[in-house]
Amino acid sequence: MPEASRYARALAWLLPQSLLGRLSVVMVAGVLMTQLAGNLIWGAQLRKDAEVEAKLAAQHIAHSAASAVRFFLSLPANYRPILIQQFREMGGTRFFVNVNRAPLAIQQIEARALSDTVVASVGATLKQDLPQLNHYRVAFAWPGELSVSDSGSKIADLPESWVQHILLVKPNPAPILVIQTELEPGNWLYLAALMPNPYFLDSGNPLALDRVLLQGLSLAAVLLLSILVVRWTTRPLAALSDAAEAFGKGENMPELPETGSREFVNTARAFSAMRERIQRYLEDRERLFVSISHDLRTPITRLKLRSELLDDDALRNEFHDDLDELDMMVKGALQCVKDSDIHENPTEVRLDALLKRMVRGSQLGGHQVQFSEAGLSVTAKPLALKRAIGNLLDNALYYGKRADISVHREPGHVAVRIRDYGPGVPEEAFGSLFQPYVRLAHGRDQNADGMGLGLGIARSIVQAHGGHLTLVNHPDGGLVATISLPAQ
């Protein structure tokens, strides 16, 4: 399991995070693997066919060479140069022919499977056709440095009419098959010819330039179409993601277009229906909450008036305390609904201007607040953001006497930190701080009128903006509240 988990993490790290990127990578990898497998199969078949073709061509050339050897063996030695000269003047024959006193040293081409197959097949066929042949040499050479006579002459030194119909010297030279056989001591017949397919060495190469170019063009076309199709397919999902994010932040978004694939149309309809149900639920909850809270205040007021008619002072005070507590709970419920559902449009908020106004107001009230400008802005609902930061600043001033406010840019976020210099929070209490009506002992002592709703409201507002609120104890004492909002 740890090994599989490590592989999964490595794969997740290598793959792009977006669906478009992942589908594109998968499709590209699939096309490349298909091309690779096809090339391997095709290459193997191509090499096999090229080998069979090369063997047949080698046998054909070897039979022709054996006939030429038998013909020159039948001629007197002094007639051979005359006949060769006549052949050259007539435009040549199947071979470029010469007679030398000894075999010439041939600078062979680099060893390849096809050329080695041809050389072996030519030698075997010559031995089969001419059993009496004792000495012969077969090799492939490039025409550039190929010697043709024992006087040192090369192909390039010969008249063009002697070789233009026999060999390919320019513009794209082809390898030349050179066969040298001993006619009698001191006389070696020199035969040079092209293969029926002069460029047979490239016929078995699946990576030839023209083939690679063709496959590259086809691969590029397939990948381009694949990426376009994937992008066209995933674009509605991006619209759905934007709509869900905007709805989570309370923004008004137009209805999703019911176009595209059947699956997306069904998803868009389901999302629109879900959004309408949630919106109705929120509106009904708000109306119900406000109605209940409002309706409760009237009987509470009547009970307070009736309690004044009680003659027993102790009983009257107990009634007053219970009714005050009930009235505070009703006010808290109304405040919770109003503060966490502020209807306004998001806009660009310059944090320096917003925070400077809040700091100035706190300083006028006699509090110590330090703030350094950062020049950063966020997209937010101004009143809602002010309410969230104000709740945290009020807590810091209530419980820590003074506060420091700073703004920092972080990867993908803008962080607003508010530090107080109070006693901090016990570690075991962090889990319950955001619950309504939860207050710590030192909070109840210093702010008896509080209801424990400020942190919960602040977190709800921050989360509605796509951010998060964290609370940690400072190493030097006090509490640090950090609001992280998406950067522009």
Domains and CATH numbers, the chain: 46-203 (no CATH), 262-338 (1.10.287), 345-486 (3.30.565.10)
pLDDT given at position 180: 93
pLDDT given at position 436: 64
How does pLDDT run across 457-468, given as a tens digit for each residue?
Answer: 888 888 888 888
How does pLDDT run across 345-381, given as a tens digit for each residue?
Answer: 788 889 888 898 888 888 888 888 888 888 888 988 8
DSSP state of 154: B
Sheet holding 413-420, edge to edge: 368-371, 402-410, 413-420, 479-486, 468-473
How does pLDDT run across 428-441, given as a tens digit for each residue?
Answer: 777 767 776 666 65
Q: How confident is the model at residue 330 (pLDDT cuts 50, 70, 90)?
A: low
Each residue of 98-107: b (16+ CB within 10 Å) or e? bbbeebbebe
Q: Tell me which of 327 and 474 has the higher pLDDT.
A: 474
Q: Which residue has the tokens 């089969």?
A: 128
How does pLDDT run across 277-301, given as a tens digit for each residue?
Answer: 877 877 776 676 666 666 677 777 7
CA–CA dist 203, 401 (Å, integer) = 88
How does pLDDT run across 159-213, given as a tens digit for each residue?
Answer: 877 777 777 767 788 888 999 999 888 899 999 988 888 888 776 666 666 677 8
CA–CA dist 341, 358 (Å, integer) = 21
Closest by alpha carbon to 254, among 264, 265, 240?
Answer: 240
CA 14: distance to chain centroid?
8
Q: Does the global pTM surpass 0.75?
A: no
Closest by alpha carbon to 140, among 116, 124, 123?
Answer: 116
